[in-house]
Chain A
Amino acid sequence: MDFLGKRIILSLVAFFAALNLDFILPRLAPGSAAEILASGSKLPAVEVALITARFGLNQPLSTQYLLYLKNVFSWPPYFGVSYQFFPQPVTQLIAYRLVWTIILVASSFFLSFAISYTLAGISSMKRGGKFEFGSVFGSIMLWSTPAFWIGMILIWIFGVWLRLLPISGNVAFNAGTGLNYDYSVLVHAILPVLTLTAVVFGQSYFILRGAAQETLKSDYVLSARARGMTERVIAFGYVLRNSLLPVISLLGYSVASLLSAVVIVEAVFGYPGIGDLIVDGVVNRDYPVLEGSFFYVTLVVILGSLLGDFLLLKLDPRLRR
C-alpha cells in the first residue's frame, strides 16, 4: 500500500490537474473559435451565431465548466463535436487517430528498447572500448538533433533522392485491401518510426547503461566471473536483467516523451495521428478536439506510469515492505 498507494494518489492529482488545464487553457486563447471558423468560410455572422449557440460558448464559464466535468465523467467521455471536421464527434475522431499514433509509438518504443538493450549489453562486456565510446557519442548526437530535422533528412534521402519510400500519409490512396493494404501501411510507417526511434533511443540507452554500470559492481557479477562464465553470459544473463528496474520505473516518463516527440514527427510526415490532430486543432482553435486529445494523451501517460509502478512492485520485493 505504501508505495503503490502514494503513486495512485499522485496519479489522481496529476489527472485532475490535467483535467483543469484542459478546460482553462483553450479558453484563455484570444479569438473565439466561432469567429476563426467563420473567417475561413463564406457565411460569416449566421454561422458564428449558430456555432456559438450550439456549443454553449456564450454561457458563463462556470456553466461551461460544470458541463465539461459532467461530460468527461460520463461513459464514453463526451467532448462534443469537432469544429474543424464539423459534424464528427471528437471521441470518434480521436479513436481513429489514436490507433495510428499507437502504431508509431509502440513500434518505436520496442525498437529503441531493443537497440539500447543490445548496445548496453555489448558495451558492458567491454568497458571503455571503442564500441562503448562510439555508442555513447552516437546517442548524445541523436539526443541533440531536432526530431523534425532527422525526419526531413530521411525524407530527403529515402523519398526525394532514392525514391524508395513514401514521405507522407499513413497509407496510399490506391492501396487496395488485404495484404496490399497492410504492405502500404508498413511502408508508410517506416520513416516516421525510424525518426521517432532515433529521437528517444538516446534517453533509454543512457538509463540502461547507467543502471548496467551499477549492476556490474555487484557481488554476484564478481562471483559469476570467478566461476569462469563468459562476459556475454554475464552481460545479457545477469547484468541487463538486473538493470531493467530503472527503465521500468521511468516508463511513464518515456511514454510522456514519446508522446511529445510523436507530435512533431506526425507533423513532418503528415501522418494522421493524434499529434497531427493537435497541431491542426491549435491552428483552428478547435477546443473540443484539444480538450479531448489532451484528456486521452494524459490518460495514456498516467496509465503507462502506473503500469510501470505496478510492474516495479511485482519485480522488486524491496518495495513490498
Chain B
Amino acid sequence: MSIVESSSKVTTRLKGSVLGALFRSRPAKLGGLLLLAFFIIIIAGTFLTPYNPYENTPDVNAPPSFAHPFGTDNVGHDLFSQVVFGAYSSMYVGLVSAIGSSIIGVVVGTLAGYYRRLEGILTGTGDIILTFPAFPLLILLGSMYPPTDELLIALLILVLWAPIARAVRSQVLSLKERPYVDSARTGGMKDRQIIVQILMPQVVSIAVAYFVLSVAAAVVLVTSLEFLGVGNPDIVSWGSILYWAQQFAFYLGDWWWVLGPGLSITLVALGFALIGFSIEEVMNPRLRV
C-alpha cells in the first residue's frame, strides 16, 4: 500500500469520526433543530399567512394574537408576514456571500500556505482587511451605491474571506510538513496535484465550519446595515423592521415590535453559529471539551 493511499484512508476515517462526533454534539444538534424549525416556519408561513407584508391592516399597534403572531406596527403591518418575507433576502445574501468568501478563502489560504513566494502578498492583503475597521467601510460603500442584494454580497465577501484564508493557511502550513506530502513529491506528484488531491480535501472541514459561521456573520452584518438605514428602509427586510421600531416602538410601548423580529434574527444566527463552532471544535481536537 503506497503512502498516498494510506493517507487518504486516514482522511476518510477521520471524516467518519468528525461526522459522528458532530451528530453526538449537543450544541450541533440544537443548532440543527433551530434551523429546521426556522425553515419550516418560513416556508409554511409563506403559504399560510394571509397578509401582504406591505399591507396596512386595520389592526394598528396590536399586541401578538392568533391573527398576528408577532403583533402589528404603528400603521398595521403584520410583523410576522414581514419577518417571513424578509427571511428570503437575508438568507440569499447570507448564503451566497458565505459561499463566495469560502471559495476565495480556501483558494487564497491554500496558495498562501503552500507557496512561500505568494505568502507575503496574500497574507499581507488579508491582514490589512482584518485590521481595517470593516463596518464603517461597509456603511460608506453601502450608502454610495443603491444597495442591492448583489452589492451587499460583494461587500460582505470583501470582508469575510480574510479570516477563512487565515485559518486555511495555518492548516496548510502544518499539513505540508507531513512526511506523506514529502513522499508524494519525491514520488513525482506535481505541486498542483498535491494541492488538489492531498491538501484541499483536508481543509474541507475547516472550510465548512467557517462557511457556516460566515452565514451567521453575514446575516448579522446585513441586518445591522439595514438597521442603520443604509439602503432603502421602505423595503421590508429584517433590518428595516427594526429601523422603524427604533423610531416608534419605544415611544408607543410596542415591545412586540422589537421582540419578535429581533429574536428571529438571533435564533437563526445562533443556529448557524452553533453548528459552525461545533464543526470547528470537532475538527480541532485540542479544543475538544
Contact A30 B144 (CB under 8 A): yes
Q: Given that A14-B128, A29-B144, A133-B289 are contacting pairs, would A298 and B133 also be in contact in the complex, using a CB cutoff of 8 Å?
A: yes
Q: Given that A14-B131, A256-B134, A298-B133 are contacting pairs, would A140 and B274 also be in contact in the complex, using a CB cutoff of 8 Å?
A: yes
A29 to B143, CA, bound (A): 8
Looking at the assembled complex, report how far the CB atom of A289 sits from the nearest CB atom of chain B, in whole angstroms: 12
Who on chain B is nearest to A250 by CB? Answer: B130
| Chain B interface category by residue count | 35 or more
Contact A14 B266 (CB under 8 A): no
Contact B273 A144 (CB under 8 A): yes
Is A171 an interface residue when CB atoms closer than 8 A count as contact?
A: no
Is B216 an interface residue when CB atoms closer than 8 A count as contact?
A: yes
Is A231 an interface residue when CB atoms closer than 8 A count as contact?
A: no
Contact B143 A260 (CB under 8 A): no
Residues of A within 8 A of B258 (CB): 149, 152-153, 156
Between A and B, how many residue pairs show CB distances below 8 Å?
140
Within 8 A of B (CB), among A243-273: 252-253, 256, 259-261, 263-264, 267-268
- Proximity bits, B202-214, A CB within 8 Å = 1, else 0: 0000000000000
Contact B286 A160 (CB under 8 A): no
Within 8 A of B (CB), among A278-302: 278-279, 282-283, 290, 293-294, 297-298, 301-302
- Subset of 29 A-B contacts with CB under 8 Å: A10-B127, A13-B128, A14-B132, A17-B128, A21-B137, A25-B141, A133-B289, A136-B27, A140-B27, A144-B273, A146-B220, A146-B223, A146-B227, A146-B269, A149-B258, A159-B250, A213-B286, A214-B286, A256-B132, A259-B136, A260-B135, A263-B139, A264-B224, A278-B140, A279-B139, A294-B137, A297-B136, A301-B131, A301-B132
Hey, which bits of chain B sit against chain A, CB under 8 A? 27, 124, 127-128, 130-137, 139-141, 143-145, 216, 220, 223-224, 227-230, 242, 245-246, 250, 253, 255, 258, 262, 265-266, 269-270, 272-274, 277, 286-287, 289
Hey, which bits of chain A sit against chain B, CB under 8 A? 10, 13-14, 17-18, 21, 25-26, 28-30, 127-128, 132-133, 136-137, 140-141, 143-149, 152-153, 155-156, 159-160, 167, 209-210, 213-214, 217, 252-253, 256, 259-261, 263-264, 267-268, 275, 278-279, 282-283, 290, 293-294, 297-298, 301-302, 305
